[in-house]
Each structure stands twice: as structure tokens, then as C-alpha cells.
Structure 1
Amino acid sequence: MMEILELKKALSVRGKNGLPFLLSACVIWAGITVLFLLPLAIDTKNIFMLFATGLMFPIALILSKWTKSEWKMEDHPLSSLGLYLNLAQFMYFPIIFWAFVQSPHHMVVFFAVITGAHFFPYGWFYQAKAYFVMAPLISITLMLLGWTTEGSHAWLIPLTMLLFLVFLIFWLLVDYRKKIKM
């Protein structure tokens, strides 16, 4: 058991709790917020929102170099698990596609809830309580906000997601700093 904990701590420190990917997500969700403030048709906004997600990985790679964090560790037995945890999010994309066709005004809510929920296993992966707390908080808050937000105020969904991401980043940064002092 202790060996697994040490492996996860090393993963957390070397990968900096996944901060480059969360920073990349901030860029994406900031863009989605701006997109939802523009006077465009909802289908156009939704298509651009999906395209914006394609920028996630390239931006995260650049930010990994900038933050000097490792996300691909050939010498670490758990490192490939992070990729699988992230790919698991794509299993929920049929829900997003359903929303695109059946409920386009709610697609951003579905997308935000799925994004927030997919953070939960990273609590175990990085030994970071922030992920365990924020994943359900993000998902439930955005679901409730989605129920009360109407068309012209849909920009509140991505803005709220962005604010949650910023808070999560700061919490994980504090966690990271504690781990490197240990």
C-alpha cells in the first residue's frame, strides 16, 4: 500500500497535479464564454465549442513545457492511467451529440457537467482532495445553474466553469507546494 502512495505522490509532483491541462481548460472555457456572448445562432456556438476542445491537448503540451511538468512518464507505472482517465470522458460524448440535436440550448450545460464530473478519479490519481471535492461541486452547481439559465444568459455556464477551474487550480497549487515540501 505504501508503495502505491509513494508512486501516486511522485506522479502528483512530477505532473504538478495536472495543472497544465487545467490551465489549458481555462483557455478553452474562457473562449467558450466569449463565444456564448456573441450574437450567433446556438448551433454555430455549439459547433465552435466542440472545435475549441480540439485545442485542449496542444495548449496543454505548451503549458507543460512552460510549467516544467511531466505528463508522460515512461519510467512510472501509473502514468498511462492518466491518459485512460482522460479518454474515459469521451465515452460521454454521445450525450453531448444528443444534446446538439435534441436540446441545443442545453448542450453547454451537458458539456460542463461532464467536464466537471470527469475530474473525480484524478483525486485518487494525484492524491488530491481538491479533485474529489470540486468534481461533484462543479457538476451539481452547473446542473442547477442550467435549470435556471435561459438562452441569452447561457454565457453564465461557461463563465461559472471557468471560475471553478481557477479555484481548482489554486487549490491544487497549494496541494502541490505541500507535497514538494514533504
Structure 2
Amino acid sequence: MNRTLEQLQTDIILAAKKGFPVLLSGAIVFLLFTFSPLVFPMKIVYLIWILGLSVIFPFGILLSKMMNVNILVTNNPIGTLAGIVAAPQAFYIPVFIIVYMHIPEYLPFTIGLLCGSHFLPYIWIYKSKVYLFVTLATCISSLLLGGFFIELAFTTVPLAISIVYGIGILLIFRELRNNPV
């Protein structure tokens, strides 16, 4: 059966619930990052940031399974596109490692900007302006807090990102309730 682009988008929006479990996972992980400087020495905090990012997607999959949401839509080419759009984040890892090695104080700035920007294509994939908010709010807060208030960046940037993702989740719920597709 040939489905139209509109039908494919509708199918992925309904199956993946606009991808909110990944945002939820990110909100939880970044909230945990917020408290890491209170518990660990900064050299460990830097590593927690780099290694902790690798937890977000698998944790999002786990949360989606627990909530009966299918974020790994495989029978839909738009699901494949969503995976392709997410994949370039793997290429950010060398950037994070170089920042860690040379100017680790800028990890929140760098991670916030690069990870925040990757949500932009989901505006179209999920027909959701929420992802424009998530992209802009994550990038702007990371730029301002991580670029200009460096001494506070390891607590303020992850807290801001966690809050942005949390607001994004609430806005996605509202979109799904008011207009599921």
C-alpha cells in the first residue's frame, strides 16, 4: 500500500507521540548533571557530561517501552529519516572530547548548543512548533549561561536544559491533546 507523505507523518506522530520520551530522558539526565558538581570533583563532572550523554537515547527507548510509545518506528520512511537526523550527533563526540581536553569549562556551552540544534528537523518530522522552542531555548540558554557565566555553567546550563525539555514535553502533550496530527 502506498501511503502519502501526510499519512506517513500522521503515522509517526501517533506511534512516537512526537518523540516525547527522548525529551523526558534528556530532562532527567540533565537534571542529574545539575547536581553532579555538588557531589563530585570537577574532573569527574567533565567525564560525567561526556559519558552521560550516551545514556539519553537508550534511556529514552526504555522510557518509551514503559509508556507503550514506539519511538523506533521502522515501517515508515519518516522513522528512518528521524534516525538519520539523530545520527550526526555521534560526530559531535570528538568535538566534546577536544573541548574536554583543552577547555573543559566550555563543555556545557558546547554540548548545549550542539545537542540543542539537532532538534530543528523534528519541527517538520513531527509537525511540531514545540521543537522550534526546544531548539531555540536550549541553544540560547546554553550560549548565555555557558558562554558568559562560565563559573556557574555546570549547574545553570543543565538545569536550564532540563526545564526547557520539561516545558517541551508539556507543550507536546498539549499539541497531542488539542490536535494529535
Any gaps of 5 or more consecutive residues in structure 2? Answer: none
* Partner Cα distance (1:140, 1:159) in 2: 13
| 3-state SS of 1:155 partner | helix
Residue 120 (structure 1) shift = 0.5
Equivalence for 2:58:
58
Moved more, 165-174 or 49-58: 49-58
| 3-state SS of 1:176 partner | helix
Equivalence for 1:24:
25
Equivalence for 1:121:
121
Q: 1:114 to 1:172 in 2, by over 3 A?
A: same
| 3-state SS of 1:119 partner | coil
| 3-state SS of 1:78 partner | helix
- What are the Cα deviations for residues 90-115 of structure 1, in whole angstroms up to 9, with x where unaligned? 22223212211121111121111111
Percent identity, aligned pairs only, is 21
Q: 1:5 to 1:36 in 2, by over 3 A?
A: farther
Asked whether the 8 Å contact 1:122–1:131 carries over to 2, the reply is yes
Residue 162 (structure 1) shift = 0.6
Equivalence for 2:82:
82
Moved more, 46-55 or 121-130: 46-55
Any gaps of 5 or more consecutive residues in structure 1? Answer: none
Equivalence for 2:160:
160
Equivalence for 1:147:
147
Q: 1:13 to 1:139 in 2, by over 3 A?
A: same
Give the RMSD, CA atoms, in angstroms: 1.9
Residue 152 (structure 1) shift = 4.8
Equivalence for 2:13:
12
The total of aligned residue pairs comes to 179
Asked whether the 8 Å contact 2:21–2:60 carries over to 1, the reply is yes
Moved more, 84-93 or 124-133: 84-93
* Partner Cα distance (1:31, 1:133) in 2: 22
Equivalence for 1:135:
135
Asked whether the 8 Å contact 1:13–1:179 carries over to 2, the reply is no
Asked whether the 8 Å contact 2:20–2:169 carries over to 1, the reply is yes
Residue 141 (structure 1) shift = 2.5
Q: 1:39 to 1:62 in 2, by over 3 A?
A: closer
| AA partner of residue 38 (structure 2) | L
| 3-state SS of 1:55 partner | helix
Matched, 1:72 2:72: yes
Asked whether the 8 Å contact 2:29–2:52 carries over to 1, the reply is yes
| 3-state SS of 1:128 partner | coil
| AA partner of residue 87 (structure 1) | A
Asked whether the 8 Å contact 1:130–1:168 carries over to 2, the reply is yes
TM-score if structure 1 supplies the norm length?
A: 0.89
| AA partner of residue 5 (structure 1) | E
Asked whether the 8 Å contact 2:50–2:96 carries over to 1, the reply is no
| AA partner of residue 146 (structure 1) | G
Asked whether the 8 Å contact 2:108–2:142 carries over to 1, the reply is no
* Partner Cα distance (1:5, 1:132) in 2: 20
